[in-house]
Structure 1
Amino acid sequence: MDGHNLCQTPTTYLLLRLEYLFGLLVAAGFFLAHLGEVRWWVAVVLFAYVDVIGYLPGAIAYHRSPDRRVCRVYYVLYNTMHSLSVQGAVLGLWVLLYGWEWALLVLPIHLFGDRALFGNFAKSFTVSFEPVPHPSVQSALRDFATVPWHEAAAR
């Protein structure tokens, strides 16, 4: 939203996801248009490594934990591996070292897909590692999504 209102309404969240859907469709379109030129082992490794490092360790720890709490390092791993900046740097380094190839498009496809299709963005330490409604967010969102700012300010 802005620097003072760091949350989304269902509508603005949907709009944000639609922007990533557009990016996903563009990246997937180029990928599909050049399917015959894709080195598949590179595509599979690059697509998978994001979650193998950034998601699976935290998911395993979450599901093995009796209280579903996990160490903050799993959040950091997730956010690092699912960062457009980090994966952009990986892509750029790959291009510098090995040259461009169409398999690299799996990086934005993965990240845009997570955001557009699953609604997954950076994870905060204050929410569950796996998607679970946070009571404070649900409570605040009821007002935030329905009460205009000028009415809330008058209260």
Structure 2
Amino acid sequence: MRINLVLELLDSPGQLVKALEPISNYGANLVTVIHKRDYKNDNGNVPVQLTIEGEHEDLKSIVSKYGELGFSIIEMDGVVLKEKITTIFFGHIVDQDLRDTMDRINELEGVVIVAFDIKLNGEEKSTALINIEADIGRKQAVFNRIAEIAEEKDLLVINEV
């Protein structure tokens, strides 16, 4: 059996080797590896496309191991598994408990904030750019949670279209 995966790896020494270890540990074969270092995202991650051959159970174990190692599988056999969501908060973000805002977004199943950039302007209102990675089909749940937080904390929200 053959499986095609696209992983996101941190662009730092040793990450590709770490991603290849489960393949040999489970006795599968690496057919193709394409490491696209020129396509670094905002978080410093790069996509790595792998084609792996092996027994069905071994391939399932490899995919599971990637989750344990913290590697994000963004595509499997041509099916996109993760989507990126970008939103902007404007208002008294820090005064409205920044940690609570992040925790409430991150507590959604299959959702994680991958970057949070804030621009402070003294005592004035601040702007925060939030990059979120979510499982496919979770986008509306993310938008609903963001709207709920914004209304409660009197923040202006600009969501992507």
Q: Identify the structure with the greater strand proportion.
A: 2
- TM value normalised by structure 2: 0.25
Q: Identify the structure with the greater helix proportion.
A: 1
Larger relative contact order (Cα-Cα within 8 Å, sequence gap ≥ 6): 1
